[in-house]
Structure 1
């Protein structure tokens, strides 16, 4: 653990009163056609993002495929913003301009008594265009915790998000990745939360419910959302939430030799090298649409797909691998992405994986914890693990 992280964690532990932060996550249901479109565009964004070098702007997902988002407030009095909580990026940005025909919440710094001008340019490049604006500082409330004078971006150009953003239900992005991929090298939201000393533990955990709202919990884990014990895997890189991948199997057959994986809440699918995914799709009898999306006969019996992480198997069965149905055809929750060295090749474990497994993101110990997710049946206490 780095000296900076140790000092931040130590500061957090000295606070006498600390409470977990619960953020309800709303789920946006995608149509069959929207899901197909999101897969196609999401592939382009991840390939561009992970191929970036040096000081290039961090390129983040196309959030047409974002299904889960929650509420924060910016400014004084608080202005509501619906944001995607994304472990694959490290900045907070919200719009200060409403695209034509959209219904987004916007941030107006002239209405905030705690706004402080920064003015430094903020820019992220998407495959279809830029998202840009300026950095500003203001109070940001996440649940019951308020970050004072937090530096974030207010964005006035969102063409890079396309029609999906104009028609979408989220306003901005709150990144939960590491400092190394923060645009402008500003303090990340998670680092700011930990340094506030108001979290019981420097962790957060996602529950992505299938048939009910999800929940993002800062500072602990919620026993009602998982069963058994957590199994932990250390990070191999503190950029994205990246870990070593031991194996990928379809049934009993090995289908990939890739040794690295990223867990990403901002991606709705499982994504792997194109050749590996094509091999898996062929074994499942799935057909490719434009070389990116795959559809499969809904009546077909699919073998289990298993990822081995930290020596433990995490299995996805047929119900986990099917996203949408249109007549007799179902969309397979897999897509192919070729990530070049040195960051690739790798697998991306998105919401398809995170709905099956409750994931604990341990910022303090730089590790990921996995436990079997369960449907909430009753209230339970929160554990400060």
Structure 2
């Protein structure tokens, strides 16, 4: 299989002009648009189709919803909120950066939101003791600060679990305890507590927006602390529960793009030997590039995707 870089020439290796830019330069296409259709039917011989210079109307339904590109090289755009079942998480209500990428098999996003999604589908995870400690010791404080309308990204520094310059750092209280050991271990522990606090803030803010009580919020956060995605592996789910899992939707261009559980769960094997895994994986890309969502093949399999370099926009329509 051959993979072509269809991004900006600013990322070309050794100054080489990418295939797409060469096509445009040589006048080989009618319009500066290319589109993807990925066939999700494993029994078909045709795995999909990429069209250079337009799109195939046989492979989509209705009209495309377009959003402007915000970063040319990556075909990056602004995505709205993430909806689990029928409940908005509020995590991207102010907008989240996202890219559509056929080179990514799964659907990747920030750990706090992926944890919420995997918890809703009953996926396995790992227990974070730092997370449980944050919820136990600082949970009520975080809720009160959120109710006091303190900016969410300032809360963890305000309670001393993250550096005060807005970057991840060492808790002042923890630093005094662990500095008797080596500095490297203290930094790792401080980063873990900071990360745990940032996750807890996201979860609690989402629950407050759903008007949940304090007890419910703390219990929910504790449950999520036990299902943090394993960065070294994939999250397993019960194959027998797939049909009862919630739909997951992404708001793009004012429209909700849904994924049904049978579309975001990957089944490997047959019969009693079959295993099912979540199609969502955690990706924590630091600023200024991140946080970032990557809508990979799981999303593009459901939605026909158009990359319009002439009008600098990306479009999605239901695949046919």
TM over 0.5: yes
Compare the two structures and name the one with the higher helix fraction.
2
Aligned to 1:163: none
Distance 1:254 1:178 in 2: 34
Q: Whole-Å Cα distance in 2 between the matches of residues 340 and 269 of structure 1?
A: 20
Pick from 96, 120, 123 the counterpart of residue 283 of structure 1.
Answer: 120
Q: Is the 8 A contact 2:107 2:281 kept in 1?
A: yes
1:246 maps to which residue?
Answer: 80
Structure whose alpha-carbon radius of gyration is higher: 2
Instruction: Give the equivalent residue in structure 2 for 1:303.
Output: 246
Structure 2 contact 66–316 (Cα < 8 Å) conserved: yes
> Of the candidates 183, 192, 204, which is equivalent to residue 34 of structure 2?
204
| Counterpart Cα distance in 2 of 1:310 and 1:185 | 35
SS of 1:180 mapped into structure 2:
helix
Shift of 1:358: 0.4
Tell me if 1:259 matches 2:259.
Answer: no
The answer as to whether partners of 2:105 and 2:296 remain within 8 angstroms in 1 is: yes
1:185 pairs, out of 15, 19, 32, with: 15
Provide the C-alpha distance between the structure 1 equivalents of 2:59 and 2:17, rounded to a whole number of angstroms: 30
- Count of matched residue pairs: 204
Q: Measure how far apart 1:271 and its partner are.
A: 0.2
Determine which of 221, 230, 236 is the counterpart of 2:55. Answer: 221
| Greater than 4 Å deviation, 4+ residue runs | none
Q: Does the CA-based 8 Å contact 2:120-2:245 persist in structure 1?
A: no
In structure 1, the partner of 2:25 is 195
C-alpha distance in 2, partners of 1:282/1:268?
21
Aligned partners of 2:111, 2:234: CA distance in 1, in Å? 11
Q: Which runs of 5+ in 2 are unaligned?
A: 126-228
Q: If the length of structure 1 is used for normalisation, what is the TM-score?
A: 0.51
Which among 356, 369, 372 is matched to residue 318 of structure 2? 372
SS in structure 2 at match of 1:279: helix
Bigger relative contact order, structure 1 or 2 (CA pairs below 8 A, ≥6 apart): 2
Q: CA deviation at 1:290?
A: 4.2
- Residues 108-127 of structure 1 mapped to structure 2, 5 A cutoff: none
Alpha-carbon contact 1:248-1:305 (below 8 Å) kept: yes
Residue in structure 2 matching 1:363, options 300, 303, 309: 309
SS of 2:103's equivalent in the other structure is coil
Deviations 1:240-269 (A, max 9, x none): 011001111111223333611010010000
Alpha-carbon separation, structure 1, partners of 2:267 and 2:121:
16
Q: TM-score, normalised by structure 2?
A: 0.61
- SS where residue 293 of structure 1 aligns? coil
Residue 274 of structure 1 aligns with which residue?
A: 111
The answer (yes or no) to whether the contact 2:267–2:277 under 8 Å persists in 1 is: yes
* Aligned counterpart, 1:150: none
